[in-house]
Structure 1
Amino acid sequence: MKKTFNTILALSGIVFLFSCGNEKEAKEEKVKKVVMELPAPFRHHEKIEVGPDLIFDVYSWGRGSDSTSSVLILRSDSLKNDFTVASSDNLDGRLTEVFNTDMDSDGNPEVLIYYTLNDKYDSAKILCYEFNGKNVNQIKFPDLSSKTKSEYRGLDKFYVKDAKLIREFNLFDESDLEGKDPKGKKKVEYNIKNNSFDLTELE
């Protein structure tokens, strides 16, 4: 009887610890989903940490329709107590994602802003800014070829791998204007050489 009681007591302890663990995980998960709202006219904020002392804060902002906005890049160099407006541009679309790279390995960071146009396919556009101290150089992002454009229906996926920007999207027959039946996939790697983009089709 005593052995059975001890067994029940041990099992109760395990169940209690397990339930506490689940409650902790649930609370942590709940905290992760909290999104801080920005005061108007700001809509979206991305923090890019190039190093412990150099940070870029990227904001999209504007009043009225959310189909157009402006992008504002703030540069903070806490080591030199230097805080500047690094760049500002209008977006005819919606900011989607921000990336930090050094594609040409020259030690000067690049901030890439991915936004979607207000067209039928929410076509992808990229703004690329390379920073050398306070100096900023905007590098033009290349268009797709005419052939690829005719088979492109949006829904891009961008990510950074080995300091290179990778782009993936499905391809469709030219007659499939609604993009319902993909016939293949395009994967492109973007690099920077001599202050201009160089691309390689991986697939």
Structure 2
Amino acid sequence: MKKSQTILLALFGTLTIIACKNEQRKTSDTQIENSDASQKEIPVETEIKTIFQKTLTLQNISFNVKNTGEGSISELSIQPKGLEIDNQEIITELDGQVVNAEIEDLNSDGFPEILIYTVSAGSGAYGNVIAYSVNNGKSISQISFPAFSEGDEASVGYMGHDEFAIVETSLVRRFPIYKAGDSNNAPTGGTRQIQYKLIDGEASRVFVIDKTSTY
């Protein structure tokens, strides 16, 4: 009787040890599977939306203009090529986005100017010009574009919706004129056109108003 009990106890102990080893093996296999699954996870790359891209070339100097982003804030990059000294990329943040870009030798010095037209976010779509001038073929400097000041005759009735274009060697700006009580989408005051000339300022080249007309 004692011998039978001893055999049963030994058999029970053996089965217990085998069951524990099987459980440990299952736990280990699960850990390996989870580790493999973790290693196989690939991060999702966020694609940056290109709003505007254009390459402009004049007088053997080119500019690649690229505007990327979403929402009200975007990024503008300008990559010059063909300059003798400094072809460093220019990157700046915009409150809005680029709508067009043009190139022309506005001051007839044998080297181009690059003009980039932007509009702000929102219903007003207020326009701005970001411009650079080539310095004797070696580098570029930013051109100052004047903002409207309170009381400027040219700004009377202005509420955005600008259009810009190079006409011969001048920068032309057009926008609708709003009268008191006009809604944003229904101006009744006609159109104002402002013509800017590029001149050498004290610190840099600047755009100045040359002519203003209303029709």
Q: Say yes or no: TM over 0.5.
A: yes
Distance, in Å, in 2 between the alignment partners of 1:59 and 1:198 is 27
Shift of residue 42, structure 1, vs aligned partner:
3.6
Match of 1:55 in 2: 62
Aligned sequence identity (%): 24
Query: Does residue 206 of structure 2 align to residue 202 of structure 1?
Result: no
TM-score normalised over the length of structure 2? 0.65
1:60–1:181 Cα change, 3 Å: closer
TM-score normalised over the length of structure 1? 0.69
Distance, in Å, in 2 between the alignment partners of 1:117 and 1:181 is 19
Match of 2:80 in 1: 75
- The partner residue of 2:97 within 89, 94, 107 is 94
Query: Does residue 119 of structure 2 align to residue 116 of structure 1?
Result: yes
Shift of residue 197, structure 1, vs aligned partner:
1.4
Match of 1:184 in 2: 190
Distance, in Å, in 2 between the alignment partners of 1:69 and 1:130 is 23
Match of 2:52 in 1: 44
Unaligned runs of 5+ in 2: 1-46
Distance, in Å, in 1 between the alignment partners of 2:124 and 2:208 is 25
Query: Does residue 141 of structure 2 align to residue 137 of structure 1?
Result: yes
Distance, in Å, in 1 between the alignment partners of 2:86 and 2:141 is 18
Distance, in Å, in 1 between the alignment partners of 2:68 and 2:210 is 34
- The answer as to whether partners of 1:159 and 1:165 remain within 8 angstroms in 2 is yes
1:59–1:182 Cα change, 3 Å: same
Runs of 4+ in 1 over 6 A off after TM superposition: none
Shift of residue 177, structure 1, vs aligned partner:
4.2
Match of 1:163 in 2: 169
- The partner residue of 2:106 within 103, 108, 133 is 103
- The answer as to whether partners of 1:66 and 1:94 remain within 8 angstroms in 2 is no
SS of 2:88's equivalent in the other structure is strand
Q: Which has more radius of gyration?
A: 2
- The answer as to whether partners of 1:169 and 1:187 remain within 8 angstroms in 2 is yes
- The answer as to whether partners of 2:176 and 2:187 remain within 8 angstroms in 1 is no
1:145–1:184 Cα change, 3 Å: farther
Unaligned runs of 5+ in 1: 1-38
Which residue identity does 2:95 align to in structure 1?
A: D
Residue deviations 1:19-66 (CA, integer Å, cap 9, x gap): xxxxxxxxxxxxxxxxxxxx7454321111113x3221111123xx33
Which residue identity does 1:73 align to in structure 2?
A: I
Shift of residue 83, structure 1, vs aligned partner:
8.6
SS of 2:87's equivalent in the other structure is strand
Which residue identity does 2:199 align to in structure 1?
A: K
Which residue identity does 2:55 align to in structure 1?
A: K
Shift of residue 94, structure 1, vs aligned partner:
1.1
- The answer as to whether partners of 1:153 and 1:179 remain within 8 angstroms in 2 is no
Shift of residue 76, structure 1, vs aligned partner:
2.0
Aligned residues: 160
